[in-house]
Structure 1
């Protein structure tokens, strides 16, 4: 009975998207933070160029600079990937744009620079970084502004259901996704309720699911009713087989790409 109730509420509160809007998501391998490795740091322009040249889709991360620009960078702190330290959000876009990334010749790019580089040649997933205490609207708006006029296949996604909800309200033509990890709590009633609440809040067009949690009854149920399921991070041939069996596309790196 509870399963049927959840299924009805899913259809009502988070309806499935028009298949014509989201069909391009399927059957694609997305290079996680670009095709990075020797000479190409993650989320660096060189990594994105390599992915385009190899014919892979791209997944990248964005967060906000102190002057409100969408910068392509994963970590909250600069320490791991640059010779500098401190929070990204405390630096302006001009300063970040001059900050060298370790392991190559690149500096931190803006989202606009990445869009111009990709130029619609391969599908692009943009993960909008968020924290519970953050207001999501400024970064969502910054990303939307950068996407104006972009013609290629592109989607935004986030672990934070407020991000997808923002796009559902203020940019409904933007394809939006909810990133999900079950974090080892699949079977508890509370965990199941939280997943459905996140879905209802987000109203996503697709899910990006933790490959460690597949196969998942929740992911399978959403896939059956028309939400594409992508999966991350696929780092081995074994996980690639799991992704092929349980999802519509893989966000992969290392041994998961091939």
Structure 2
């Protein structure tokens, strides 16, 4: 066994099968089942995923006070009539902003959880820069307290996984990874370092990187491997061969 494999087992042990195995049982609509007039990360997209019988992947960003809002971008420009950073707005201000072309406003994470009500497995991608990690993770944890549905958190930022490992070890946590523009020995070292810091229960891996020696090694030792974003039948075939579950966008179905 290589030194890196030994360190992986020691510093980021794999979860027991019962802890994260539920993640393998469904496909996940990326930002909800959007398209065909439905906006990503909207209530309507979440309901469409539930109707399809699939899980939901969503993104959360921090409002000015750290409260978690369901939105992908750091700025409001692309999907609303407003401009500027989401993090500069108060929760009250964000809750009044409408998604372009709809009557929907930006949902709080608490509102999305109430809407789902345990009817679908939820993956919450925490979009946190290091300075925001504590406040946003605390908001996500507060929203999940008392929630009776099935949910897990994940992030590209290994500090998010580290925060949950230290402060809320009962919450299933994942590490989102891509090898894009990060190849060679430096990239491999960064991936291992992120793994050791986050101590994830699962990985969510860029489908464009599969098959991947790193991802395959983690999967072989017991970390469920999800893959994103599957948008074609060809990508789905790769995902089925090398991962445990897919995070997809239309027109691909799970």
Do the aligned partners of 1:177 and 1:208 also contact (CA within 8 Å) in 2? yes
Distance 1:234 1:256 in 2: 7
- Provide the C-alpha distance between the structure 2 equivalents of 1:126 and 1:29, rounded to a whole number of angstroms: 14
Pairwise CA RMSD of aligned residues? 1.1
Task: Name whichever of 225-234 and 176-185 sits farther off.
Answer: 176-185
- Structure-1 separation of matches of 2:65 and 2:181: 38
Structure 1: any 5+ residue segments left out of the alignment? none
Q: Distance in 1 between matches of 2:142 and 2:201?
A: 20
CA distance, structure 2, for counterparts of residue 131 and residue 64 of structure 1: 10
Query: Residue by residue, what CA displacement relative to the aligned partner does 1:80-121 show, whole Å, maximum 9, x if unpaired?
Result: 000110100111111111111013221100000000111111
CA distance in 1, matches of 2:182, 2:127: 23
TM-score normalised over the length of structure 1? 0.96
The two structures have a TM-score, normalised by structure 2, of 0.97
1:174 aligns with 2:171: yes
Kept in 2, the 8 Å contact 1:14–1:203? The answer is yes
Rounded Cα–Cα distance in structure 2 between residues aligned with 1:185 and 1:135: 25
Q: What does residue 54 of structure 1 align with?
A: 52
Q: Tell me the distance in 2 between the aligned counterparts of 1:29 and 1:103.
A: 28
Is 2:173 the counterpart of 1:149?
Answer: no
> Counterpart of 2:251?
255
Matched positions, count: 254
- Which whole-Å CA distance do the structure 2 matches of 1:49 and 1:174 have between them? 24
**What does the per-residue CA deviation read over 1:31-57, in whole Å, with 9 as the maximum and x for residues that have no partner?**
000011133210000000111111110
SS of 1:136's equivalent in the other structure is: helix
What are the ranges of 5 or more consecutive residues in structure 2 without an aligned counterpart?
A: none
SS in 2 for 1:255: coil
1:239 to 210, 235, 240: 235
2:200 maps to which residue? 204
Q: Note if contact 1:235-1:257 (Cα within 8 Å) is conserved in structure 2.
A: no
Residue 137 of structure 1 aligns with which residue? 134
- Once superposed, which parts of structure 1, at least 4 consecutive aligned residues long, lie more than 3 Å away? none
Q: How does 1:93-112 map to 2 (within 5 A)?
A: 93-112=91-110
SS of corresponding position for 1:135: helix
